[in-house]
Amino acid sequence: MSTTDLPVLGHWIDGAEKASSSGRTAEVFDPARGVATKRVALADKAEIDAAVASAHAAFPAWRDLSLARRQSVLFRFRELLDARKGELAEIITSEHGKVLDDALGEISRGQEVVEFACGLAHHLKGEYSEQVSTGVDVYSTRQPLGVVGIISPFNFPAMVPAWFFPIAIAAGNTVVLKPSEKDPSAANWIAALWAEAGLPAGVFTVLHGDKEAVDGLLEHPDVAAISFVGSTPIARYVYETGTRHGKRVQALGGAKNHMLVLPDADLDLVADAAINAGFGSAGERCMAISVVVAVEPVADPLIAKITERMAGLRTGDGRRGCDMGPLVTRQHRDKVASYIDVAIDDGATVVVDGREVVPDGDPNGFWLGPTLIDRVPTTSRVYTEEIFGPVLAVVRVASYEEGVELIDSGAFGNGTAIFTNDGGAARRFQYEIQAGMIGVNVPIPVPVATFSFGGWKDSLFGDTKAHGAEGVRFFTRQKAITSRWLDPSHGGINLGFPQNG
């Protein structure tokens, strides 16, 4: 079939999928087969304006709807998602490539935020102070912003948008979601589920596109806020452009997450954790462990245990019960594989070369097997850059102090972990380390939805993290009201400066 004959996924505007008029499309691939299965529309200015206009028009009625009625829609959406998440997992696997169990896990983590948002009335409560001055009371409320834009990455087409839209919608905002053009179908499926749950048309809009759509949301005067997850260079661009246009922005960037392994650690536990955190979802996670910092003398025995476990991993089609699927595109697979040559040129030791994998799947798929590289110089691009693939680097250090200094010297501060049986060392680590999310014998320390997700340094632009209490603050703004109801016996004119008393 010619790619021009492939079906085209349209935008979701005014409560239904709309055919695109821009004339621009991008191919969407099944990464395990290496073939295009559809095309997705790429919005032009007219479609960007139509999407935002729909959300803008829907905002007043949704804002004015009672919290109880908003929550009832959230509860219905939660029940529908729970009953039909298998459908969504199949869509994610077909376009991203991650194995079905991983796709289901992604949906479950996103559902946590939906459940948090079901109780948002509690988190929207204001404060009240009585008699702050004679006959004067002061109280505060939290109100929605208006139209909010979400720009999400390819690696979590369901979970990352769900970090934001449940809270935004529950708080009374309307949402325009711009998903990745690499795996866009999950967004339309979610939009249809919202409609089935009773969400009014225009409250949840899906705008497909590329940089033109991103810039359109960043610059549009009717978009009040932007939530973004992606690489650090783009996160910086989104933050600077959005704030320059007067928007509230939270932009979560890249990472280079370390696992510090002390000599007293349980190396079997560490090896399992390194496999799970380094190669799950083919390493296409912003919280993946990409560097094992081994405090000698543990490196050699730890590498032996990791290598032994890697030999049993099955790389292949995520619909066949494999452990790890393909990378999302051929271009990304080639880029990740190129780092193995960089490692060799820089004098590192390639212990397991993922380019040699024999996949359980179509040979045309975008395959790269789990890769382990020892003695990686900290000057190498393999160490300094976010690879975003199944490449695990080992760096050897002589002490805890050297390991902490190494981790803190990096540009990123997303997440990090320590593996030890020494409580004092763990407590010291969680206090000293310069990162936003810390794991103690937990390799991927993603907090539950009641806490907030986000890093430090070049891993986060803006001062508000995702979901939890900070998510509520991001999607609302506080209003303070000072009130006095005069007794009829009081009155008179006083031109002096108002004073407390």
State mean pLDDT over 458-487.
95
Joined tokens for residue 37: 């299965």
The reply to whether 286 belongs to the active site is yes
Question: What pLDDT band is residue 493 in, cutting at 50, 70 and 90?
Answer: confident
Bond prior to 359 in cis (omega within 30° of 0): no
Higher pLDDT, 491 or 359: 359
Looking at residue 490, what is its pLDDT? 62
Residue pair 408/433 in contact (Cβ under 8 Å)? The answer is yes
Collect all residues with Cβ–Cβ distance below 8 Å to 400 and sequence separation of at least 6: 260, 262, 295, 425, 429
Q: Does 360 have pLDDT greater than 60?
A: yes
Side chain identity at residue 103, one-letter code: A
Bridge partners (DSSP) listed for residue 142: 478
Entry pTM: 0.95
Collect all residues with Cβ–Cβ distance below 8 Å to 357 and sequence separation of at least 6: 315, 367, 368, 369, 370
Looking at residue 196, what is its pLDDT? 98
Choose, from 286, 337, 394, 437, the residue flagged as catalytic: 286
Q: What region does 281 belong to: left with phi over 0, alpha with psi -120 to 50, or beta?
A: left
Four-CA torsion 212, 218, 222, 226, nearest 10 degrees: 120
What phi, psi does 253 have (nearest 5°)?
-105, -155
Q: Does 142 have pLDDT greater than 80?
A: yes
Beta strands 147-151 and 223-229 are: parallel
Q: Does 3 have pLDDT greater than 90?
A: no
Max Cα separation, the chain?
A: 90
Q: How far apart are CA 205 and CA 12, in angstroms?
A: 5
State mean pLDDT over 184-202.
98
Question: What pLDDT band is residue 419 in, cutting at 50, 70 and 90?
Answer: very high
Q: Characterize 185-221 residue by residue with b for buried, 16 or more Cβ atoms within 10 angstroms of its Cβ, and e for exposed.
A: bbbbbbbbbbbebebebbbbbbbbbeeebbbbbbebe
Residue pair 153/161 in contact (Cβ under 8 Å)? The answer is no
Residue pair 372/352 in contact (Cβ under 8 Å)? The answer is yes
Joined tokens for residue 78: 């939660």
Higher pLDDT, 492 or 331: 331
Which spans in 171-286 are helix H? Answer: 185-196, 211-219, 232-244, 267-279
H or E segment and range at residue 8: strand 8-9
Looking at residue 491, what is its pLDDT? 63
State mean pLDDT over 100-116.
98
Q: Does 1 have pLDDT greater than 60?
A: no
Looking at residue 341, what is its pLDDT? 98
Looking at residue 496, what is its pLDDT? 77
Residue pair 394/380 in contact (Cβ under 8 Å)? The answer is no
DSSP 429-456: HHHH---SEEEES-SS-PPPTTS-B--E
Averaged pLDDT of the chain: 96
Looking at residue 500, what is its pLDDT? 59
Q: Does 151 have pLDDT greater than 70?
A: yes
State mean pLDDT over 304-308.
98
Question: What pLDDT band is residue 487 in, cutting at 50, 70 and 90?
Answer: confident
Residues 52-81: tens digit of each pLDDT:
999 999 999 999 999 999 999 999 999 999
Looking at residue 494, what is its pLDDT? 73
State mean pLDDT over 406-431.
97
State mean pLDDT over 257-272.
98
Q: C-alpha distances in angstroms, 238 versus 34, 211, 252, 392, 475?
A: 31, 11, 10, 29, 17
